Amino acid sequence: MSAAESETRGARRRLPPMPQAFSFIGAGLIFAATLAFTGGAGGGQILSTALTFATMYVIVGLGQMFVITTGPGNVDLSIPATIALAGAVAMTVMGGEDGSIALGLLAALGTGVAVGCFNYALIRLLQIPPIIATLSASFLVQSSAIAYGRGLRVRPPPAFADFATGRVMGVPYLAIATLLLSVLMAVLLHRTVYGRSVAAIGQNSRAAHLAGIRVDRVRFLTYVLSAVLAGLCGAVLAGFSGGSSLNMGEEYLLASIAVVVVGGSSVSGGQSNVSGLWGASLFLYLLVTMLNTFGVGAGLRYLLTGLIIIAIITLAGGPRAGRA
Amino acid sequence: MPHPTAAPPPGTPFVALAAVAKSFGAVRALRGVDLDVRSGECLGLAGHNGAGKSTLMQVLVGNVSPDEGRFTVQGEDVAGRLTVARARQAGIACVFQELSLCPNLSVLENARIRHASLKGFGWRGRAARLITRTLDEIFPGHGIAPQALVSDLPLGQRQMVEIASVFAQGDHEAPLRLVILDEPTSSLDNSVAAQLLAHVRRFVSAGGSVILISHILGEILSTCDRIAVMSDGRVVDLREAGAFTRASLVEAMGHVVSHEAGETLVSAEAGRRGAVVASATTPKGGSIRLEARRGEIVGLAGLAGHGQTSLLVLLHNAAQGRSRYAAVTGRVAFVAGDRQTDGVFPLWSIGGNVTVRSLSRLGRFGLVDPAREKRLAEEWRTRIKIRTPDMDDNILTLSGGNQQKALFARALGSDAEVILMDDPMRGVDIGTKQEVYALVRAEADKGRTFIWYTTEFDELKSCDHTYVFRSGRIVAELGRHELTEARVLQSSFEGEAA
């Protein structure tokens, strides 16, 4: 991917050449360990399922990655609530009719735009730190989702559900669509003025301002982008799981941050990695699958998941530690 | 406050320096300083930015160890062995220009930091009494509560706390013998400044010593017993205070005034021509309005930190949106002087750092075109002679001077018509400077406007028009033919007129 090339070029002599390699190697090792345990059975099935779920991680991870890249302190914690609200809105607008799919998707994206604007209004106008602003916004958004959904479970239109669960030669449609989305985002990040501005702000926002970058505008767009992608994820997730539910976004709070960091993007901003998101998402899903296959209990599973994420971040992030 | 005990008779040297030299890399901050500070005297120290005053003070308090020379405290040779702790033992203390208080702590807690002997049960009470007693003595009617948080105090009161905690004499502490005051009155109003100067006189008449650094010449002339003038890392003049007048003091500071009247007269222009492309007033008021015309190089002079950088940032912001104080027609670019804070993107290549200001011009179908980006980077690599094998290398592989060139290339390679320069030649070698001067002149002749803040007088000679800043205001404007170092210094230092 051209993204990876330009990253390594820009970062020469400062970073390990392929920060995303860790996540892919990790995912590969875990997959191998799982297969060794099962004696090679069910490999294709595991991989296919992993691709589906990794896709969701990748969608929200893309938005979170842009936010985290704008520098220390920037993070979007309203992703789970946005997923819940957008999922409910999308399902209600579609109303089970194939003809309303496009409208429903637009409504989900529109929900994202609204949440993103609200987030940034809190951050910019009220000067609330992003972590608090997006967290408190998520309570409001989640309440809206509860009020809006009123416990109704609207089923997705058949065509949408087919798309969300369908596969071609074992590869989910979703994974193909998300791969295209990732390429688009990589282009946005590395080849547009907006993407370059995000990376510049993440390194030094004062210098970025003095280099003529409209810092506020770029940060605003970034929070909107993150919420829009969360909205998209909400619609897709609802389609995949036969209707939206209020808690379907829950696991994406930590997952969205974990895939960004494990995927080789810098926690301190300015440096991001699209392909690493895929490695990290597969890694994360396969890790849970492996522990399930081993028959590990829930408590131990969480413990091991946490420890392994810490380990991979330490390994991958080691050479970057010099930058405060 | 207990005054210095067992002070030696007035007039004997407390500290003596002979041929003290100190270099930081290629910069020779001190080039052989001879100076003594006697017991019972207040020694004034004057000189413009970069004369070596601050480095000299860092040597005296043990923060910086001199490379060469003799340095004695009360006759004992301490060269290379003076540490901060030993300097304090010897009774040397300094009130630094940048406040050294912790803003998140209260006044009395800050006093405790400086006075380690305030410990054990009830230290808060003792610290509060100590600092209040000293504040009462130096600044009667100060109105500062010892429990107040430093961040809640206005700047002037913080400075008072800083001064008082240095002068405070705790029990069981080495007696205070020498106090260095580095621009102590810059944030104090006149009456409080007078209280401080009166205290300085009381302190020295009790046998202590004070070194007073100030750019307010009236203050130095009226308070000090002797005045030393520093320039280019040396003491160039040292006389009894009575032997100086304001004029002779200014003259002594600018001893390097070059006599090129002929040259400047030739280029003296007949009035300013061209459309005004940028204008601004300082937010602090002042009657002079800065104006820059098309194709002009406008210099901003004065001592460092007197509002020049703020004005440049104001102009920069005015070009992006609206400003009450400034108006700019056309696009601007900014050349940072403080590279790490304002300029460099450390994760990017040299090329990336050069092109960041021009990305919107290098597009094709909304995407940045890598080939055009590379062409721009290569063009400036040759034009400004950035010394690197590959513009794709990280920016931090360059030396400071070459990083600065990359920042110049960023601005000059952009479409900006007005270029703001924030003392960009700091720490840049002379060769690079000459290259950049020529480039700036050539670009100005093509119609670009430069607004150039500089702390070096020689650079002002490249300017068509110069504005001198003092305390956040523009206090003088000089055309090219009127420019002399003495006039710039005179305007930078004059205190009472303001």
Cβ contacts of B6 within 8 Å, gap of 6 or more:
B175
- For residue B8 the two structure tokens come to 């030696």
Query: How close, in Å, is residue A192 to chain B by CA atoms?
Result: 5
List the beta bridge partners of residue B230. B235
* pLDDT of A151: 64
Mutation site for B-interface testing, chosen from A197, A198, A210 by largest number of B Cβ within 10 Å? A210
Strand partners for A167: A172
Provide, as residue numbers in chain B, all residues whose Cβ is less than 8 Å from the Cβ of A203. 345-348
Shortest distance between the Cα of B51 and any Cα of chain A, in A, equals 29
Q: What is the mean pLDDT of chain A?
A: 85
Using a CB-CB cut-off of 8 Å, the residues of chain A touching B366 are 192
Q: Would you tell me the crossing angle of helices A43-69 and A274-293 to the nearest 10 degrees?
A: 140
- pLDDT band, residue A70 (cuts 50/70/90): very high
Give the mutation candidate from B347, B364, B388 for the A interface (greatest A CB count, under 10 A).
Answer: B347
CB contact A12 to B (< 8 Å): yes
Number of residues that this document lists for chain A? 324
CA distance B422 to B425: 9
Higher-confidence residue: B486 or A85?
Answer: A85
Whether chain B has a CB inside 8 Å of the CB on A8: the answer is no
What pLDDT is recorded for position A111?
94
Chain A residues touching residue B360 (CB < 8 angstroms): 193
Rounded Cα distance, A5 and A17, in Å: 9
Looking at chain B, which residue has its C-alpha nearest residue A188?
B367
| Candidates A6, A203, A214; nearest CB to B347 | A203
Q: Do A11 and B394 touch (CB under 8 A)?
A: yes
**pLDDT of A9 higher than 50:** no
Q: What values do phi and psi take at B289, rounded to 5?
A: -105, 130
By the CB < 8 Å criterion, does B149 face chain A?
no
* Res B302 pLDDT > 90: no
What span, in angstroms and rounded, lies between the C-alpha atoms of B440 and B335? 12
Residue B435: its pLDDT value, please? 80
pTM, two decimals, is: 0.74
Q: What distance in Å separates the CA atoms of residue B170 and residue A85, rounded to the nearest whole number?
A: 65
Among B482, B210, B219, B448, residue whose Cα is nearest residue B331: B448
Return the residue of A nearest to B366 by Cα: A192
**Beta-carbon separation of B313 and A211 below 8 A:** no
B287: DSSP letter: S
pLDDT band at B53 (very low <50, low <70, confident <90, very high): confident
Residue B321's pLDDT band, with cuts at 50, 70 and 90, is: confident
Number of Cβ atoms within 10 Å of the Cβ of B10? 15
State residue B438's pLDDT score: 86
Residue B357 touches chain A, beta carbons under 8 Å: yes
B348 contacts in chain A (CB < 8 Å): 10, 199-200, 203
Instruction: Decide: B226 and B241 in contact? Cβ < 8 Å.
Output: yes
pLDDT at A31 over 80: yes
Q: What whole-number distance in Å separates Cα of residue A261 and Cα of residue A276?
A: 9
Contact in structure between A69 and A257 (CB atoms under 8 Å): no
- Residues of chain B contacting residue A215, judged by C-beta atoms under 8 Å apart: none
CA–CA gap between residue B289 and residue B310 (Å, rounded): 15
Mean pLDDT of B31-45: 91
Q: Out of B320, B343, B348, whose CB is closest to A10?
A: B348
Distance from CA of B114 to the nearest CA of A (A): 29
B369 DSSP assignment: -
| DSSP β-bridge partners for residue B470 | B473
Inspect the interface and report whether the beta carbons of B346 and A9 lie closer than 8 Å: no
| Per-residue 3-state assignment (H helix, E strand, C coil) for B160-182 | HHHHHHHHCCCCCCCCCCEEEEE
Span B472-480, average pLDDT: 85
CB contact under 8 A, B341 and A11: no
- In percent, the amount of chain A with pLDDT more than 70 equals 91
Name the residue with tokens 């993070």. A75
Least confident of A62-71, A273-282, B90-99: B90-99
Q: Which residue has the higher pLDDT, B75 or B312?
A: B312
Residue B323 DSSP one-character state:
-
* Phi, psi angle pair for B42, to nearest 5°: -110, 120
Q: Is the dihedral of CA B254, B259, B264, B265 positive or negative?
A: positive
Question: Which pLDDT score, from 0 to 100, does residue B269 have?
Answer: 45
**Is-contact B241 B484, C-beta < 8 A?**
no
Residue A147: what pLDDT? 87
CB contact under 8 A, B349 and A9: yes
Residue with tokens 């619609």: A235
Of A60 and B185, the one with more pLDDT: A60
CA distance A290 to A49: 13
Measure the CA–CA gap between A80 and A85, rounded to whole angstroms. Answer: 9
With CA atoms as reference, the chain A residue closest to B369 would be A191
pLDDT category, B86, cuts 50, 70, 90? confident
Is 50 exceeded by the pLDDT of residue A142?
Answer: yes
pLDDT band (50, 70, 90) for residue A199 = very high
pLDDT, residue B268, reads: 38
B211 band by pLDDT with thresholds 50, 70 and 90: very high
Q: Is the pLDDT confidence value at B267 over 60?
A: no
Coil, helix or strand at residue B230: strand
* Residues in contact with A24: Cβ distance below 8 Å, sequence separation at least 6, in sequence order: A276, A278, A279, A282, A283
- A248 token code pair: 């379907």
Instruction: State which H helix or E strand residue B278 sits in.
Output: strand B276-280
Q: What pLDDT does residue A8 have?
A: 39
DSSP state of A248: T
Q: Confidence band (pLDDT; 50, 70, 90) for B42?
A: very high
A 153-182 residues inside an 8 A Cβ radius of B: none
User: Distance between CA atoms of B35 and B20, rounded to whole angstroms?
Assistant: 9
CB contact at 8 A, A130 and A73: yes
Which residue from A43, A55, A60 is spatially nearest to A163, judged by alpha carbons?
Answer: A55
Q: How confident is the model at residue B1 (pLDDT cuts 50, 70, 90)?
A: very low
Q: Is B392 on the interface with A (CB under 8 A)?
A: yes
Q: Could you say which DSSP state residue A281 is in?
A: H
At B236, give phi and psi (nearest 5°): -100, -15
pLDDT of residue B29: 82
At residue A49, the pLDDT reads: 85
Closest CA to B268 of B437, B465, B477, B487: B465
- Environment class of B147 (CB within 10 Å of its CB; exposed 0-12, middle 13-18, buried 19+): exposed
Q: Is A217 on the interface with B (CB under 8 A)?
A: no
Residue A262 vs residues A18, A25, B134: alpha-carbon distances, Å: 12, 12, 57
Which residues on chain B are in Cβ contact (under 8 Å) with A9?
Answer: 349, 392
